[in-house]
Amino acid sequence: MDRYREDFKRLDEFSPRSSVQSEIGGRSSLRFSMPGFGYDSFNPLRSFMSGLRKSSGRLKSLRHPNPSGAPKTAFAEDLKSFKKNIFDPQQKFLLRMNRFFFLSCIFAVAVDPLFFFLPVIDNSNCIGIDKKLAVTSTVVRTIIDSVYLIRVFLQFRTAYVAPSSRVFGSGELVIDPTLIAMRYIKSYFLMDFFALLPLPQIVVWRYLHSSDGPDVLATKDALVWVVLCQYIPRLLRIFPVTKDLKRTAGVFIETAWAGAGYYLLWFMLAGHNVGTLWYFLSIERKDSCWLANCHATDGCEPTYLYCSENHGGSERYKNWSTSTPIFNQCNGTDESFNFGIYQQALVSGILGPGNFVSKSCYCFWWGLQNLSTLGQGFVTSTYPWEVLFSIAICILGLILFALLIGNMQVE
């Protein structure tokens, strides 16, 4: 008992305001009065939340020890005090960059279909590749992809809100580069990586360094599959950018008219893409017509149908080209081969080389016209892929038209 009394005396000396109250149930309880300074402004809820944040941070550090001693999380107002190249997701710099990246994604979606314009019907009645357009399209695509590489780098250095701390208002930011990188790799990295692969550039540059006849056919077939397969991730990567814009700015589209303009842009992009694909499929149908008549004609070789440096140099080709009826049967005016919706491309003469502006404008008009009318003016043949292409145009036009009209509703 003497030892306990000495402890109470020491406690009284340390805190003169403390007092022994009374014995309840045989147990003595102590009541410590609050310090006299600032007691009236004391907020118990704020003190509790602050203590809970600190304790949760200590528990995280015990659960995930960091050998380097650097913190893994921090609040937005404390992020500048750390000497790390980590960006706050709410910074105005990231808002401006995300708007720039959104425009680059739109340009990328518009530039990729230009590869469908590379096959042309040469003046010597053979399928070739427009070399000037090939160089231009590959250079423009490379520049756009190099711009998007900046976003990939920023994704590895942009902090994110820890999911476990979102209950405390804005929450803590994860600033550990390893955790940030792992989160990006598990989410959108593979999509961005596949979208940035320079596959069309490789196909085009391989052709430019080997201009033999058979390579024209291989280049034409490779381009369509490479562009179509890469078009999906290059289109889908727009949605993470718009998601970041909404998180940073609060809203992506502020007014109903801005939303209508946004969907009108998508409608125009769809018309551009449909028109370029229609041009490429017109080349394919004319190639199919040539091959079908070539196999039924004596003295015809498939290599005669594809341009090369030595094309038309042999006497055998000259004798065949002057006597064959293939070119007249596949010009779009002969009824022996039904071109369906592609007959307009053959008759208009847009399949020839050069005059890129008129060619692209004509195809853009064709795509917009048939998307807006849902393909009502189509007179298709019985070719299955042509029928499927017409059905896809009808469905796509219906969806885009509904989105456009729906977002024009002004509340």
Say if CB 120 and CB 187 are below 8 A apart.
no
Alpha-carbon torsion (148, 280, 394, 402), positive or negative: positive
- For the chain, list residues with pLDDT below 70: 1-84, 164-171, 211-214, 249-252, 254, 309-313, 407-411
- Locate the DSSP E strands across 341-380: none
Say if CB 222 and CB 203 are below 8 A apart.
yes
Amino acid letter for position 6: E
Amino acid letter for position 297: T
Check residue 342 and give its pLDDT: 93
pTM (two decimals): 0.76
Strands 173-174 and 73-74: what pairing?
antiparallel
Can you tell me the distance from the alpha carbon of 20 to that of 8, in angstroms, rounded to the nearest whole number? 9
Check residue 171 and give its pLDDT: 65
Residues in CB range of 164: below 8 A, 6 or more apart: 56
Can you tell me the distance from the alpha carbon of 308 to that of 318, in angstroms, rounded to the nearest whole number? 15
Task: Give the DSSP per-residue string, 30-64.
Answer: EEPPPPSTT-TT--HHHHHHHHHHHHHHHHHHHHS
Long-range contacts, 240-245 (Cβ 8 Å, 24+): 240/188, 241/98, 241/101, 241/102, 241/105, 241/151, 242/102, 244/89, 244/94, 244/98, 245/95, 245/98, 245/99, 245/102
Task: Give the DSSP per-residue string, 294-342.
Answer: HHTSTT--GGGGB--TTTT-SHHHHHHHHH--HHHHTSSS-TTS--GGG
Can you tell me the distance from the alpha carbon of 326 to that of 348, in angstroms, rounded to the nearest whole number? 19
Residue 139 — φ and ψ, nearest 5°?
A: -65, -45
Q: Which two tokens stand for residue 58?
A: 């200590």
Can you tell me the distance from the alpha carbon of 374 to that of 368, in angstroms, rounded to the nearest whole number? 10
Cβ of 18: how many Cβ atoms within 10 Å?
14
Across-strand partners of 127? 121, 306
Say if CB 74 and CB 177 are below 8 A apart.
no
The CA-based angle 224-227-232, given to 5 degrees, is 130
pLDDT tens digits for range 221-277:
899 999 999 999 999 999 888 888 877 766 667 677 777 788 888 899 999 999 999
Can you tell me the distance from the alpha carbon of 245 to that of 243, in angstroms, rounded to the nearest whole number? 5
Residue 2 — φ and ψ, nearest 5°?
A: -65, -35
CA distances for 160 relative to 5, 153, 233, angstroms: 55, 15, 23
Check residue 313 and give its pLDDT: 65
- Locate the DSSP E strands across 51-194: 73-74, 119-121, 127-129, 160-161, 173-174
Residues in CB range of 237: below 8 A, 6 or more apart: 105, 148, 188, 191, 192, 195
Stated length of the chain: 411
Among the listed residues 278, 272, 229, 269, the one whose alpha carbon sits nearest the alpha carbon of residue 386: 278
Going from N- to C-terminal start, the domains of the chain cover 72-252, 253-410
Task: Provide the phi-psi class of 159: left if phi over 0, else alpha when psi is between -120 and 50, else beta.
Answer: beta
